[in-house]
Structure 1
Amino acid sequence: MAQVAGYRIVAPLGGAGDQLGIAPDGRYVVVRTVSERLAADPEFREHFRRETTAARAVTGPYTANVVGADADAPRPWVAAEHFAGVSLSESVATLGPLGPGDLGSLGVMAAEGLHRIHSAGILHYGLKPATVVVTRGGPVVTGFGGCGSGGSPGFIAPELLSGEGGSGPAADVFALGALLALAATGRNPHGAGGAQQVLYRTRHSGPDLVGVPGTEWPGFLARCLAKYPADRPSVPELARWCAARAGEEPWWDREPLAGMIASEQEYLAELAAMDGEFGDGVDDGFSGAGASTGL
């Protein structure tokens, strides 16, 4: 049976070196191992050590907490909680655009996750529809601190595209604003088309907020998506604003989304019941130093 440290490997997940594992306490985890090429680079190992150490300080109900890592192993590895659920974009495609109260619930939970990540000294810089997983307990922010795959066009802050360096937490506020706009309209707020077209519009054009519900949400999302970092709300301000407008009924409990989440839970249970014979428990697909932990 394949293992990485004390984690039993039961199945591959995607093509970036991720593998589904079972922790000794029975939790599902995503385990990622570093390629031999990167493992031979001392600078990468030190980078990996710093980011995974910081990521292990992130705790809370709205993040995929890192539960183990070893930067000194022959093949460095990191393990984070894995949740049964579907991506935010799949959720919106299933339920349709969210109303004002549902947007508030999504915003406050995602902002709380970001706040916990920032409090550990980490910037996400890769928030996108695929890194917000909607679970039975609500949205969870994943993909931070050492094993993600970076942002997606339309969700990357303009200052990160200009080559002038990062803006700190404000870049994550921009990404969250874009996610809320997507959830409100079903569209990327910076349009469709090729990556270069979307990136150009992100830097030079205002966001498309047509169809955002309510009288307050369009203006607030415009602030979150402001071109200049200083014009955006802080993460705590965003959380307070959304909390004051959050709905009482969990939108993730609605069908058919709830059934999709339950199916994912059943699928994980089926994988866990298998022998888990998937090679040696490692993968050369680790995508590089720019990836993030929290998986």
Structure 2
Amino acid sequence: MERLRHDDPTQIGPYATLARLDAESAERTVPERRYLARGGDGERTVLVCVPRVGADPSRWALEAEGARRLSVPGFLQVAEVGGTAGFPWSAAPYTPALPLPAVLAAYGGPLPEDTVRGLGAALARGLAAAHAGGVTHAGLSPASVLVTPGGPLLTCFGAARAGLAGLDPGCVAPEQASAEAGASWPAGDLFALGAVLAYAATGYTVPEQSELPAGLRQLVGACLARDPADRPASAHALLRDLAPPADSAGPAGTAEPRASADPRRPARAGCSTSGGASNAGGDGGCPAEPNPAAPGGFAGTAAPGGAAGAALAVGGQTVLDQAAPPLLLPGRVVAALAAQSAALLAAELPAPQQAFATTQKVH
């Protein structure tokens, strides 16, 4: 939570801005401008977002509307979209939240491995639910992860599709950087998730392998593979690696691998590992091919409202059966969240602007 600058808007739609969410030092790697704001009646506090200066406002507005229509666990629930063609905005109900860079600043450095794993499991679960519904996030970066008392939330939906400005370069998959505008694929989300985990564990999105904790090197390295075929098969598979379910543990307590039609490609809702079922496109057991024209970036996109309930069936489980463990936050991070909440509660609405009255000369 940072003080407003002279070039920040004092009013966004019906909301009076109170503070910036992001520190000025992190501005270069934040895909949008984010403010804590309050309604004129003082009853509602929200997180309100607007495009970066120089961004395409129409493309940003398109992605903001897409986020509003989504209902995916672990994604920020956008409640309102408004504004004009030149200055669109979106708003979500406020909950105490710190961007991941602010979390590391509050903690005083990289996070413990258990915390990184919990963070990764929660993010992978959200991505798996989205991918099962045919939706890619295409905007994952340290700044787009908001850590709340209830777990992390993914924001900046579609930032890569709207243009790469503001995205940490280390989070952009090679195929995403060279893709046509508007294209995105699940493998790109997995690359970005690997970069986010690397950042949480080291403070860098592109660290040396030796800087990573030994228990995370193989997992993060696989996510950051330049060839999408060498990355984890799906967000669901990554979730199993981060937090293996108890019922899949073998005698030694390790997770048993599950079969898939092609381990190099993400499984999809309605695709069978044996080829006996058909997906929405009728191609029987094969994941959908990338389609830049489809909403969310690849073919077979489901209606946005149904993404949360979509089932990614692997080995008899759905992705929503794979509950991520609670994210246990270090005490210093909890204290920073509490301080933000207290400061916001104490913040007063800006005084109404007085109408400018011209003085009249008395002769």
| Deviation larger for 123-132 or 254-263 | 123-132
CA RMSD in angstroms, aligned pairs only: 3.8
| Deviation larger for 77-86 or 143-152 | 143-152
Q: Could you tell me how far apart the structure 2 residues matched to 1:70 and 1:247 are?
A: 34
Structure-1 residue corresponding to 2:221: 222
Q: Return the match for 1:174 from 170, 185, 191.
A: 191
Q: Could you tell me how far apart the structure 2 residues matched to 1:113 and 1:278 are?
A: 41
Q: Return the match for 1:8 from 3, 12, 15.
A: 15
Q: TM-score w.r.t. structure 1 length?
A: 0.68
Q: Could you tell me how far apart the structure 2 residues matched to 1:209 and 1:34 are?
A: 35
Name the CA shift for 1:89/1:10 in 2 (closer, same or farther; >3 Å): closer
Name the CA shift for 1:30/1:225 in 2 (closer, same or farther; >3 Å): same
1:22 aligns with 2:38: yes
> In the alignment, residue 239 of structure 1 is paired with which amino acid?
L
1:90 aligns with 2:102: yes
Name structure 1 gaps, 5 residues minimum.
192-207, 281-295
> In the alignment, residue 121 of structure 2 is paired with which amino acid?
V
1:105 aligns with 2:122: no
What CA deviation, in whole Å up to 9, does each residue of 1:222-249 have, x standing for no partner? Answer: 1111101122121222223222289967
For the pair shown, which has the larger CA radius of gyration, 1 or 2? 2
Q: Could you tell me how far apart the structure 2 residues matched to 1:63 and 1:218 are?
A: 27
Higher relative contact order, structure no. (Cα contacts within 8 Å, ≥ 6 residues apart): 1
Task: Specify the SS of the correspondent of 1:256.
Answer: helix
Task: Specify the SS of the correspondent of 2:70.
Answer: coil
Q: Are the counterparts in 1 of residues 73 and 129 from structure 2 also a CA contact under 8 Å? A: no
1:251 aligns with 2:251: no
Alignment of 1:35-114 (within 5 A): 45=58, 47=59, 50-60=62-72, 62-70=74-82, 75-93=87-105, 94=107, 96-114=109-127
Structure-1 residue corresponding to 2:267: none
Structure-2 residue corresponding to 1:266: 342
Q: Could you tell me how far apart the structure 2 residues matched to 1:27 and 1:111 are?
A: 31
> In the alignment, residue 342 of structure 2 is paired with which amino acid?
E
What's the % identity of the aligned pairs?
31
Structure-1 residue corresponding to 2:349: 275
| Deviation larger for 21-30 or 56-65 | 21-30
Name the CA shift for 1:187/1:72 in 2 (closer, same or farther; >3 Å): closer
Q: Could you tell me how far apart the structure 2 residues matched to 1:82 and 1:119 are?
A: 28
Task: Specify the SS of the correspondent of 2:16.
Answer: strand
> In the alignment, residue 212 of structure 2 is paired with which amino acid?
V
Segments ≥4 residues shifted beyond 6 Å: 71-74, 245-249
Q: Return the match for 1:161 from 177, 180, 202.
A: 177
Task: Specify the SS of the correspondent of 2:69.
Answer: coil
> In the alignment, residue 242 of structure 2 is paired with which amino acid?
C
Aligned residues: 252
How big is the shift at 1:121?
5.4
Task: Specify the SS of the correspondent of 1:56.
Answer: helix
Q: Are the counterparts in 1 of residues 98 and 148 from structure 2 also a CA contact under 8 Å? A: yes
Name structure 2 gaps, 5 residues minimum.
1-9, 246-322, 355-363
> In the alignment, residue 161 of structure 1 is paired with which amino acid?
A
Q: Are the counterparts in 2 of residues 55 and 122 from structure 1 also a CA contact under 8 Å? A: no
Q: Are the counterparts in 2 of residues 11 and 19 from structure 1 also a CA contact under 8 Å? A: yes
How big is the shift at 1:169?
1.5
What CA deviation, in whole Å up to 9, does each residue of 1:198-241 have, x standing for no partner? Answer: xxxxxxxxxx22143344x3212111111011221212222232
Q: Are the counterparts in 2 of residues 122 and 145 from structure 1 also a CA contact under 8 Å? A: no
How big is the shift at 1:180?
0.9
Name the CA shift for 1:114/1:269 in 2 (closer, same or farther; >3 Å): farther
Q: Could you tell me how far apart the structure 1 residues matched to 2:16 and 2:130 are?
A: 27
Q: TM-score w.r.t. structure 2 length?
A: 0.57
Q: Are the counterparts in 2 of residues 29 and 82 from structure 1 also a CA contact under 8 Å? A: yes
Q: Could you tell me how far apart the structure 2 residues matched to 1:55 and 1:89 are?
A: 23
> In the alignment, residue 36 of structure 2 is paired with which amino acid?
L
Name the CA shift for 1:74/1:153 in 2 (closer, same or farther; >3 Å): closer
How big is the shift at 1:11?
1.9
Name the CA shift for 1:122/1:52 in 2 (closer, same or farther; >3 Å): farther
Q: Are the counterparts in 2 of residues 88 and 129 from structure 1 also a CA contact under 8 Å? A: yes
Name the CA shift for 1:247/1:116 in 2 (closer, same or farther; >3 Å): closer
1:151 aligns with 2:167: yes
